[in-house]
């Protein structure tokens, strides 16, 4: 990804991109939106449209009233999109995620189906020894294979657990009988009480990767997903645990998967964009406070006004 000759090319990742009012190059960015359209099974073909719809529907105000700062000051840079296919595609997703981490930036990977997390978590675990993964998902994803594929979107937790990485699952309310025995060994919750989440956060390793399969949410707010399950989580039932994790731990990567856009109905796409923006905001909240980014954005506006005068 980071090749010198590409620096000359206007279409490369090195060009300046205006995102949420800030003009940045890849090198200047702290947060990289990585569109990863990838579908592991016939059921999830619709998720290939997820990344482009999330970026096109990046509709929100820059200031977050709940977090009391403008998370866009975490310098967000969207990578150009390309299609990823087969095992080669998963390897590319792994390599790009690994490169972003090595470049000391936060990867925010936009799926595609949940299978991409097998690659992105592997990349994160290669850079961080003491890693935990928190997965928000309706499904246990403990199938050994699905649709004749080992790296399927329903085998995510199975593949990650085989690598020995610590996993906590939240939102779980659907399991196949063939997964039951394996699933019972997992730290899996549907909804978490305040007491439970405090204990979960305490037990997490210092570095935490966040993987959000959007079917963790209730279908009433997230209908655009191939495997919806009733009795899902409300917005705050995902955001509150994220905030607790962000307050105490180092979030090293985030993915948002399984959005399957519904033609003519953009609300779920906008909600996924807002979810990504909120997660970025949570990740950098403490650092922003310590380094005074609340003021940073005000400064930018003042500078802009001064230039325009």
- Contact residues: Mn ion, CB under 5 A: 137-139, 213, 215
The Cα–Cα gap between 119 and 123 comes to 6
Q: How far is the CB of 140 from Mn ion (least distance, A)?
A: 9
Output 106 or 212, the one with its CB closest to Mn ion: 212
**Listed residue (218, 187, 215) closest to 202, CA to CA:** 187
Q: How far is the CB of 294 from Mn ion (least distance, A)?
A: 36
Output 3 or 234, the one with its CB closest to Mn ion: 234
Within 8 A by CB and 6+ apart from 196, the residues are 189
Q: How far is the CB of 129 from Mn ion (least distance, A)?
A: 28
Residue 221: exposed, middle, or buried by beta-carbon count in 10 A (0-12, 13-18, 19+)? Answer: middle
Output 92 or 137, the one with its CB closest to Mn ion: 137
Output 53 or 137, the one with its CB closest to Mn ion: 137
Output 19 or 217, the one with its CB closest to Mn ion: 217
Q: Name the closest residue to Mn ion (Cβ).
A: 139
Residue carrying the six token digits 């700062």: 69
Output 173 or 285, the one with its CB closest to Mn ion: 173
Q: How far is the CB of 227 from Mn ion (least distance, A)?
A: 6
Output 49 or 215, the one with its CB closest to Mn ion: 215
Q: How far is the CB of 211 from Mn ion (least distance, A)?
A: 10
**Listed residue (260, 255, 190) closest to 223, CA to CA:** 260
**Listed residue (148, 116, 100, 149) closest to 38, CA to CA:** 116
Q: How far is the CB of 253 from Mn ion (least distance, A)?
A: 19
Q: How far is the CB of 138 from Mn ion (least distance, A)?
A: 5
């Amino acid at each position: 990804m980071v090749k010198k000759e590409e620096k000359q090319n206007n279409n490369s990742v090195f060009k300046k991109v205006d995102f949420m009012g800030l003009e940045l190059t890849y090198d200047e960015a702290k947060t990289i939106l990585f569109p990863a359209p990838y579908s592991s099974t016939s059921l999830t073909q619709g998720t290939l449209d997820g990344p482009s719809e999330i970026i096109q529907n990046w509709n929100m105000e820059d200031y977050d009233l709940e977090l009391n700062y403008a998370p866009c000051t975490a310098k967000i840079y969207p990578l150009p999109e390309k299609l990823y296919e087969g095992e080669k595609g998963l390897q590319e997703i792994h390599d790009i995620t690994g490169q972003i981490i090595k470049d000391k930036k936060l990867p925010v990977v936009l799926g595609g189906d949940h299978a991409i997390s097998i690659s992105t978590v592997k990349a994160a675990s290669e850079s961080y020894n003491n890693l935990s993964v928190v997965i928000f998902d309706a499904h246990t994803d403990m199938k050994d294979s699905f649709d004749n594929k080992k790296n399927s979107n329903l085998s995510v937790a199975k593949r990650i657990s085989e690598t020995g990485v610590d996993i906590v699952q939240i939102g779980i309310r659907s399991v196949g009988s063939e997964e039951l025995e394996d699933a019972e060994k997992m730290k899996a919750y549907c909804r978490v009480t305040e007491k439970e989440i405090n204990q979960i956060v305490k037990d997490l390793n210092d570095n935490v990767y966040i993987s959000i399969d959007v079917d963790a949410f209730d279908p009433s707010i997230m209908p655009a997903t191939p495997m919806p399950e009733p009795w899902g989580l409300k917005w705050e039932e995902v955001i509150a645990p994220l905030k607790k994790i962000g307050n105490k731990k180092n979030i090293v990567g985030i993915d948002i998967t399984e959005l399957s856009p519904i033609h003519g109905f953009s609300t779920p796409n906008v909600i996924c964009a807002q979810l990504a923006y909120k997660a970025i905001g949570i990740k950098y909240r403490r650092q922003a406070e310590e380094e005074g980014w609340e003021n940073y954005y005000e400064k930018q506006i003042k500078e802009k006004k001064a230039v325009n005068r």
